[in-house]
Structure 1
Amino acid sequence: MIAKINLEGTWKLQLDGAKQGLRLPMNDTITLPGTTSYAGKGNPNESAHADCLTDEYAFEGWAWYTRTFIIPADLAGENAMLYLERTRVTTVWIDGQELGTHDSLSAPHVYPIANRLTPGEHTITVRVDNTDYPTKGGHMTSRDTQTNWNGITGRIELQFYGAAYLEDVRTYPNVEERTVRIQAKLAGAEAAALTVSAVAFNASRSHEPAARTFEIDGGQFEVVYSLGDDALLWSEWTPNLYTLRLELKQEGSPSEAYETTFGQRAFKAEGNAFTINGTKTFLRGKHDGMIFPLTGFAPTTVEEWLRVLEIAKSYGINHYRFHTCCPPEAAFEAADRLGIYMEPELPFWGTVTDETYDNHNEAEQLYLIEEGYRMLKAFGNHPSFVMMSLGNELWGSKERIDGILKAYKTFDNRPLYTQGSNNFQWVPVILEHEDFFCGVRFSRDRLFRGSYAMCDAPQGHVQTGPQGTLTDYDDMIIPPDISGEGAIEGQSSGGEIQIQYGTEAKTVQAGASEGVLVPNVPVISHEIGQYQTYPDFNEIAKYTGPLKARNFELFKQRLADHGLDHLAEQYHAYSGRVAVEAYKEELESAFRTKHLAGFQLLDLQDFSGQGTALVGVLDAFMDSKGLISPEEWRTFCSDAVLLARFAKYNYEAGEQFEAALQLRYMRPEPLLGYTLQWELTAGNERLAQGEAVASAEKSGDLVDIGRIGFAMPDVPTMTKTTLRLQITGTDIRKSYHLWIYPSGVAADSGGIRLFEELTDEAAALLERGERVVVMPDLTRLTNAVEGTYCVDFWCYPMFRSISESMNKPVPVGTMGLLIDNEHPLLKRFPSDPHATEPWRQIVEQSRSIILDGTSRELQPIVQTIDNFERNHKLGTVFECRVGAGSLLVCAIDAKRAGETTEGRQFLHSLFEYARSEEFRPSAELELTEARELLR
């Protein structure tokens, strides 16, 4: 390029929702780059979406943009192209002459200007259409994420080239030989001299290889440029980069230069692992749908992407999977600098078909295939572009999908390819030409994720418990004895099955299973996590752009209508604590799995659509929700993770504690001769301690450090302890909470008026001023919600609807506990105000009674947090005055709870309270009300 004219600034605008055509004079103006919504153009949108953010100025149709520009004399007659970095479907006219139409959602629109521009003023008109796309567009156009905006974002410019110039420049690194192979096309000349040079930047040291000049012929050519034996390599640990400069020289013509960012790296799939420059790495990924609530569209500045990716990296993330979307150039540039492994995805979530399918849409298929080529051409030179996916949860023709993979690999073998993310969900397959597999299961029961929706049951181990830290997925990925393993139950011969499909259900054809599927490529666990927290209504004020959190406002009003708005901040904080602990176990399970090559979280940040899924420890703005610090998160999500593997969290005094200590080590430098120190503490008191040698000779090791074992000390009361592990002299540490209980505690209900329902006898006792405890028969209790420990998966309204449409059990939908931990009932069962492991098996054998309509004074001692759609007031343990007496209700299965150490301790505390003078409730209920609640 010899020059460019920036076309950013003020343009005339005409909105044309009815697509009637351009009308002059144009009646409005807009600043580009930008979108109509961001500029506040159009009629205000009065809608209030409950399932996603609301675009205040949503507009769909044609938008006409026009402006004049000046061509200076020295650029007149030169080769020129119009460059629109990111937009929708565009048609362009210059001086009234149409240049054509482009429809890429993922790559720049570049228009060659056939008629040479003359000196002086010219007029450009661009029509942008954000309807009737060749494909639905996934998260490139979804209102759930970056919205279906209309406009032009990023660079808008006229680019000028000399008589000879380069096209389609591609760089192929060769790490072994320390060279780069450059492929390109020379246009406008039969031959030229090409000088190649490189200068390192963002690097650990300076490096400038010697320039070299090549004689090249017109058309396609290839040259090999040496970076020297001391070339700097690019990786997540050392993101060394080069500015690669290609300069064309011809006699009598000005020199023409092309520059690109280049990184010398080899990202490979080797066996069951990924390697970077020969060193194993473990992908610690996050999902990204390009959610940017202040603008409604993805930024195109490196600075903003650096902000986002640096936050993610501070939480241990080294990989981004873009769900049915491809980020702009600036995202790859930022990832290049930070050492983030990027996986863009075709903008498709559906069925890939061929002529054998009744619903075959060849035009859409060809568009998507071409979109992939456009992505590779536009962004393939970036070292961070290491992987590519054909879409999300695809179905259809395996042969067609594999054919697309084969063609892409022939065209560009730099990235690794996968058929898609979680394709053929219940009947997965590994295709011949894919380099890695991304999914959630290999058969109905071979699960390698910790959580699943009810419509996708069986659920995962994080949801179902009881919980220790022993789970890994090695036997799920590589069965120890595959001889007896069959195909998926009921699907061995193919046929129709019903699946979750986006936010709905869909019936698809399942291909016949071919027996046991054993992977021979690296395996990534897809969209792990999805643990929801209750909304933080303080976040509403942050939506100062075109997207408004009217969903949050609706949820806030619902809570107030149920008289529970005073608990909103506690709901948010306490559901969040359970979600964090669930994520910890989810991630550690992945790190414990030798056969797993990585994971893709859903998510580190909240997802603002698809029912409003607040599944992050960061909000949609990538700001902390105050649930966990990045430093603490990195103790279970980094390139070095300490693991203690033990059977349970709850122990009786004198019981033996046993744990295996392991280290998942993914750093390039050896860890030799370090000391691991461990201790068990209660407050400031050290109860046990020890040390072991910790070494890892190479990256990729899951090192067995040793075992620790000791008898739990005698304690007079239930005691919360902390097991801390630290490799001295490093940042590698970990902590777990364990609980110790006094030995010999009995759940003695002697002397207590204990009933399964409010019988006439119980009512008479209450009338006489007696104390009554009701522990209902849970099988007969109808005014209640099932007890569960883990927070809701993704979000209740979306999966309730999907489950109902599939005629499957709906999710429980609750989100942890709000515990009055200062209440005397818990004197002998000291608790945090949120759910912790002592409550897990107790809650799993419980019901939460619906207390809607009762007074605010009736605040349960153990309250279950409901989701933002129902907002029931839920009590597992509550008390009230009925008549002259005192009623205590505990909807827990005492028999089954009493079979566990923690359950006996809780019942002991409850019964002691019921016998004590402290049992004096203040809230009141009429007998008829109490009976109705316990029906």
Structure 2
Amino acid sequence: MIAKISLEGTWQFQLDEDKRGLKEQLNDTIALPGTTSYARKGKRNQAALADSLTDEYAFEGWAWYSRTVDIPAEHAGSTIMLYLERTRVTTVWIDGIELGTQNSLCAPHLYNVTDRLTTGNHTITIRVDNTNYPTKGGHMTSRDTQTNWNGITGRMELQFFGAAYLEDVRTIPNFTDRSVNIKAKLVGAWEGTLNVSAASVNGTIRHVAATNSYQVSGGELELHYSLGEDALLWSEWEPNLYTLQLALNQKDGTMDVHESTFGLRNFKAEEGHFTINGAKTFLRGKHDGLIFPLTGFAPTTVEEWLQVLETAKSYGINHYRFHTCCPPDAAFEAADRLGIYMEPELPFWGTVTDETYDNHHAEEQQYLIEEGYRILKAFGNHPSFVMMSLGNELWGSKERIDDILRDYKAFDNRPLYTQGSNNFQFVPVILEHEDFYCGVRFSRDRLIRGSYAMCDAPQGHVQLGPQGTLIDYDDAIVPPANGETSNDGLEQGGTIQIQYGTEAKTVKADAAEGELVPHIPVISHEIGQFQTYPDFNEIAKYTGPLKARNFELFKQRLEENGLDHLAEKYHVSSGHLAVESYKEELEAAFRSKRLAGFQLLDLQDFSGQGTALVGVLDAFMESKGLISPEEWRTFCSDAVLLARFPKYNYKAEECFEAAIQLRYLRPEPLSGFTLQWELTAGDEWLVSGEAVASADGPGDFVEIGQITFTLPAVQAMTKTTLHLRIAGTDIRKSYDLWIYPNQVAIDKSGVFLFEELTGEAAALLKKGERVVLMPKPDRLANAIEGTYCVDFWCYPMFRSISESMNKPVPVGTMGLLIEQEHPLFKLFPSEMYSTEPWRQIVENSRSVILDGTERALQPIVQTIDNFERNHKLGMVFECRVGAGSLLVCAVDAELAGETLEGRQFLHSLFHYVRSEDFRPQASLELSRLQELLR
């Protein structure tokens, strides 16, 4: 390129919702780059969506953009290209003459306007259509994520080229001999010299490669350019980059220079793992759907993407999977600089068919295939572009999918390819031409993540109860020799009912023969999905075109139920339980030697599909205040300490044993390191020790050894913390453990205890007695089932899916809100939120629906409901009934009494009822109580 003219600025503009065409002078102006919504053009949208953010100026149809441009005489004879970095379906006119249409959602639109832009003034008119897509577009066009915007974003320019110029330049790094192969097309009838030079950027060391000159002529060319033996490599730890210049000396003395950035790296799939330049790495990924609430579209500047990716990296993330979307060039450039492994995905979420299917489907499929080639051409030179997926949760022809993979690999073998993310769900298959597998299971019961929706049951171990830190996925990935046979998810007739986007669908599902054992790296797909209650303070942050009217609706529902004073506590309590769930989810992945990585859903909130607030960061990639990046990195980084023990609850003087491991992925050896450990109770030191081990290189599972000690003879329930750290490093970890005194008696003496609200119980209350009611949970009709873990993804979406599939509806609750200072917990000290001592208690409980009761009736142990129902749920509550005092605890006392923690809870509960502290303040009429406990 010898010059360019920016087209950024003010354009004449007109909306054409009914697609009538351009018949009059444009009647408005707009600043480009940008979108109609961001510029607040058109009718204001009064809707209040509950399942996503609301675009205040949503527009679908045609939008016309026009401006004049002056072509200087000095560029006469140049080849001129109109470059539009990111847009929708565009049609271009120059001085009223139509030039054509382009429809890429992911790659730039490039129009050759040479014949129309002579010296002088010309009018460029662009029509953008955000309705007539050849495909649904996945998250490239979804209102759940970046919205179905209309406009043009990123660079807009006229590019001028000399008599000869290079296009389709491809850089192919050669790790072994420190060189790069350069493929390109030389346009123009020309022979001469091409000068190639390269200099390092972005690293701590400066390296300049020798300039080489090559004699070239028009047409396809391929060059081999050596960087020298001391060339610098690109990786997540040292993201060294090179600026490559290809300079053509023109006959008129000008020089047409093509400049690009590349990195010298070798990202491979080897023996079930990923390696970068020969060193093993473990992918710590996050999902990304291009959610940017302040604009409604993905940023196109490197600075904005650096801020986003640096935040993710501060939480230990080294990998991004883009769900049915591809980010702009700036995202890849930022990832190049930071050392983050990128995986764009075709904008497709559906069924792939063979070529004989139907014309409509064949058209869409061909478009998507071509879109893949456009993505590879546009972004393939970036060293961060190491992986590519054909789509999300695809179904259809395995043969056709494999053919597409084969053709992509023949065209460009630089990235690694996968057939898609979680394809074929319950009946997965590994295809011949894919390089890695991404999914959630290898059969119905061979699970490789810790949480699932009820419609995809069985659920995972994080939801059903880890009871310790022993679980990994190694046997699920490669079963023992006497393990199960595969593909037990088929229903009669070779069909299966699946979750399909936000709906349900019955699909053909042909089982593979025999047991599926992967021979390529395995990534666990969309792990986590642990929801937190909304933080309504976030509403004020939506100052752009996207409004959080969903949050406003949820807040209104809470106010109508008289629970608005608890909103902040709901957010914090559910959030802390979600964080603990994420910790176990991630550690289980790190404990799995056969797993090559994971992709979180998500580090940040997902603002659509029912409103899924599943992040420890909000939709703005800002902290919710639940956990610091430093603490998160103790279980999500390139060096993670792991203690493996069977349970969290122990009796006094019991022997504690844990195997200590280190998952070490840093490039430098860690020889002769010292592990220091100690057990504390608050500020009190209880016991400590040391161990010495070595990590010889990246990818090591270091078995540090066993730690064993006798727990103290406590006289009261005691929360302790096991601290692990490697001396002289930032590598550390902690686990909370609970110790209970021996011989805890459940003393019911002096307490009137009933399982039902009988006439006798009512009479005792009338007389002013103290009564404890512990109904059998399964006999309560006006109640919600007890479950320990927070809701998966979000209740509205999966309630609907479960109902349409005739599957069990999710419980939908979000942990406990505990009145921790209440005297009931004098002998069972608790946090405000759910912790492991509560797991078995909650799982054997129900929570009574207390809707409509007075605000003073605040449950001592309240279950947090989801934002759709917003029930007031009491697992333990107290009230005055007539002259008497009543405590209701909807826990199965018999089952609770079988565990240490359950006995301690009941011990504390009955101790409280006998004490002078038992003085309920709220009152209930007997008839109302009977109605609630029906």
TM-score (norm 2): 0.99
The 8 Å contact of residues 353 and 359 in structure 1, kept in 2 or not, is answered as: no
Q: Give, in angstroms, the shift of residue 132 of structure 1.
A: 1.9
The answer for the alignment partner of 1:249 in structure 2 is: 249
The answer for the alignment partner of 1:319 in structure 2 is: 319
The answer for the alignment partner of 2:490 in structure 1 is: 491
The answer for the alignment partner of 2:8 in structure 1 is: 8
Quick one: which amino acid aligns to residue 600 of structure 2? L
Q: Which SS does the other structure have where 1:211 is aligned?
A: strand
The 8 Å contact of residues 496 and 508 in structure 1, kept in 2 or not, is answered as: yes
Q: Which SS does the other structure have where 2:824 is aligned?
A: helix
1:674 maps to 2:673: yes
Deviations 1:869-895 (A, max 9, x none): 000000000000000000000000000
The answer for the alignment partner of 1:131 in structure 2 is: 131
Q: Give, in angstroms, the shift of residue 490 of structure 1.
A: 5.6
Q: Give, in angstroms, the shift of residue 916 of structure 1.
A: 1.4
The 8 Å contact of residues 78 and 117 in structure 1, kept in 2 or not, is answered as: no
Q: Give the 5 Å matches for 1:350-429.
A: 350-355=350-355, 357=357, 361-429=361-429
The answer for the alignment partner of 1:454 in structure 2 is: 454
CA–CA distance in structure 2, aligned partners of residues 911 and 111 of structure 1: 79
Quick one: which amino acid aligns to residue 455 of structure 1? C
Summarize the Cα distance change of 1:844–1:543 in structure 2 as closer, same or farther, 3 Å threshold.
same
**Larger deviation, residues 909-918 vs 329-338:** 909-918
Deviations 1:254-289 (A, max 9, x none): 211000011000000001100000000000000000
The answer for the alignment partner of 1:20 in structure 2 is: 20
Q: Give, in angstroms, the shift of residue 487 of structure 1.
A: 3.0
Summarize the Cα distance change of 1:490–1:644 in structure 2 as closer, same or farther, 3 Å threshold.
closer
Quick one: which amino acid aligns to residue 719 of structure 2? K
Deviations 1:25-66 (A, max 9, x none): 111000000000000000000000000000000000000000
Q: Give the 5 Å matches for 1:427-826.
A: 427-481=427-481, 485-489=484-488, 491=490, 495-826=494-825
CA–CA distance in structure 2, aligned partners of residues 475 and 505 of structure 1: 30
Q: Give, in angstroms, the shift of residue 23 of structure 1.
A: 2.5
The answer for the alignment partner of 2:920 in structure 1 is: 921
Q: Which SS does the other structure have where 2:580 is aligned?
A: helix
The answer for the alignment partner of 2:145 in structure 1 is: 145
Q: Which SS does the other structure have where 1:511 is aligned?
A: coil
Quick one: which amino acid aligns to residue 704 of structure 1? E
The answer for the alignment partner of 1:875 in structure 2 is: 874
Quick one: which amino acid aligns to residue 911 of structure 2? E
CA–CA distance in structure 1, aligned partners of residues 67 and 433 of structure 2: 48
The 8 Å contact of residues 494 and 513 in structure 1, kept in 2 or not, is answered as: no
Deviations 1:848-873 (A, max 9, x none): 00000000000000000000000000
Quick one: which amino acid aligns to residue 924 of structure 2? L
The answer for the alignment partner of 1:261 in structure 2 is: 261
The answer for the alignment partner of 1:892 in structure 2 is: 891
Deviations 1:573-612 (A, max 9, x none): 0000000000000000000000000000000000000000
The 8 Å contact of residues 56 and 548 in structure 1, kept in 2 or not, is answered as: yes
Quick one: which amino acid aligns to residue 46 of structure 2? E
Q: Give, in angstroms, the shift of residue 479 of structure 1.
A: 0.4
Q: Which SS does the other structure have where 1:335 is aligned?
A: helix
Quick one: which amino acid aligns to residue 507 of structure 1? T
The answer for the alignment partner of 2:201 in structure 1 is: 201
Quick one: which amino acid aligns to residue 502 of structure 2? T
Deviations 1:448-502 (A, max 9, x none): 0000000000000000014210010000000011x55323226288622110011
The answer for the alignment partner of 1:74 in structure 2 is: 74
CA–CA distance in structure 2, aligned partners of residues 490 and 310 of structure 1: 41
Q: Which SS does the other structure have where 2:90 is aligned?
A: strand
Q: Which SS does the other structure have where 1:618 is aligned?
A: coil
Quick one: which amino acid aligns to residue 180 of structure 2? V
The 8 Å contact of residues 78 and 114 in structure 2, kept in 1 or not, is answered as: no
Deviations 1:757-785 (A, max 9, x none): 11110000000000110000222110100
The 8 Å contact of residues 485 and 515 in structure 1, kept in 2 or not, is answered as: no
The 8 Å contact of residues 799 and 809 in structure 2, kept in 1 or not, is answered as: yes
**Larger deviation, residues 99-108 vs 19-28:** 19-28
The 8 Å contact of residues 489 and 496 in structure 2, kept in 1 or not, is answered as: no
The 8 Å contact of residues 717 and 828 in structure 2, kept in 1 or not, is answered as: yes
The answer for the alignment partner of 1:911 in structure 2 is: 910
Deviations 1:799-841 (A, max 9, x none): 0000000000000000011101111111000000111010011
The 8 Å contact of residues 389 and 418 in structure 1, kept in 2 or not, is answered as: yes
The 8 Å contact of residues 640 and 667 in structure 1, kept in 2 or not, is answered as: yes
The 8 Å contact of residues 494 and 510 in structure 1, kept in 2 or not, is answered as: no
The 8 Å contact of residues 493 and 513 in structure 1, kept in 2 or not, is answered as: no
Q: Which SS does the other structure have where 2:223 is aligned?
A: strand
The 8 Å contact of residues 466 and 840 in structure 1, kept in 2 or not, is answered as: no
Q: Which SS does the other structure have where 2:327 is aligned?
A: coil
CA–CA distance in structure 2, aligned partners of residues 686 and 269 of structure 1: 46
Deviations 1:319-350 (A, max 9, x none): 00000000000000000000000000000000
Quick one: which amino acid aligns to residue 268 of structure 1? K
CA–CA distance in structure 2, aligned partners of residues 653 and 612 of structure 1: 45
**Larger deviation, residues 786-795 vs 349-358:** 349-358
CA–CA distance in structure 1, aligned partners of residues 274 and 25 of structure 2: 58
CA–CA distance in structure 2, aligned partners of residues 916 and 119 of structure 1: 95
The 8 Å contact of residues 492 and 512 in structure 1, kept in 2 or not, is answered as: no
The 8 Å contact of residues 388 and 416 in structure 1, kept in 2 or not, is answered as: yes
Q: Give, in angstroms, the shift of residue 750 of structure 1.
A: 2.2
The 8 Å contact of residues 77 and 117 in structure 1, kept in 2 or not, is answered as: no
The answer for the alignment partner of 1:305 in structure 2 is: 305
1:829 maps to 2:807: no
CA–CA distance in structure 2, aligned partners of residues 779 and 205 of structure 1: 68
Q: Give, in angstroms, the shift of residue 658 of structure 1.
A: 0.6
The 8 Å contact of residues 272 and 595 in structure 1, kept in 2 or not, is answered as: yes
Q: Give, in angstroms, the shift of residue 355 of structure 1.
A: 4.0
The 8 Å contact of residues 666 and 701 in structure 1, kept in 2 or not, is answered as: yes
Quick one: which amino acid aligns to residue 700 of structure 1? G
The answer for the alignment partner of 1:65 in structure 2 is: 65
Q: Which SS does the other structure have where 2:705 is aligned?
A: strand
Q: Give, in angstroms, the shift of residue 356 of structure 1.
A: 5.3
The 8 Å contact of residues 492 and 513 in structure 1, kept in 2 or not, is answered as: no
The answer for the alignment partner of 1:210 in structure 2 is: 210
Q: Which SS does the other structure have where 2:153 is aligned?
A: strand
CA–CA distance in structure 2, aligned partners of residues 251 and 513 of structure 1: 63
The 8 Å contact of residues 52 and 611 in structure 2, kept in 1 or not, is answered as: yes
The answer for the alignment partner of 1:94 in structure 2 is: 94
Structure 1: unaligned runs, 5 residues or longer: none
Quick one: which amino acid aligns to residue 297 of structure 1? F
The 8 Å contact of residues 577 and 833 in structure 2, kept in 1 or not, is answered as: yes
The 8 Å contact of residues 388 and 415 in structure 2, kept in 1 or not, is answered as: yes
Quick one: which amino acid aligns to residue 362 of structure 2? E
CA–CA distance in structure 1, aligned partners of residues 127 and 436 of structure 2: 41
CA–CA distance in structure 2, aligned partners of residues 484 and 930 of structure 1: 52
Q: Which SS does the other structure have where 2:777 is aligned?
A: coil
The 8 Å contact of residues 416 and 436 in structure 1, kept in 2 or not, is answered as: yes
Q: Which SS does the other structure have where 2:450 is aligned?
A: coil
CA–CA distance in structure 2, aligned partners of residues 429 and 541 of structure 1: 46
Quick one: which amino acid aligns to residue 229 of structure 2? D
The 8 Å contact of residues 163 and 250 in structure 2, kept in 1 or not, is answered as: no
The 8 Å contact of residues 608 and 620 in structure 1, kept in 2 or not, is answered as: yes
CA–CA distance in structure 2, aligned partners of residues 608 and 516 of structure 1: 38
Q: Give, in angstroms, the shift of residue 705 of structure 1.
A: 0.2
The 8 Å contact of residues 848 and 876 in structure 1, kept in 2 or not, is answered as: yes
Question: What is the root-mean-square deviation of aligned Cα atoms in Å?
Answer: 1.0
CA–CA distance in structure 1, aligned partners of residues 249 and 378 of structure 2: 25
Q: Give, in angstroms, the shift of residue 190 of structure 1.
A: 3.7
CA–CA distance in structure 2, aligned partners of residues 465 and 493 of structure 1: 32
CA–CA distance in structure 1, aligned partners of residues 717 and 359 of structure 2: 63
Summarize the Cα distance change of 1:379–1:490 in structure 2 as closer, same or farther, 3 Å threshold.
closer
The answer for the alignment partner of 2:167 in structure 1 is: 167
Tell me the number of residue pairs that the alignment of Structure 1 and Structure 2 aligns.
Answer: 934
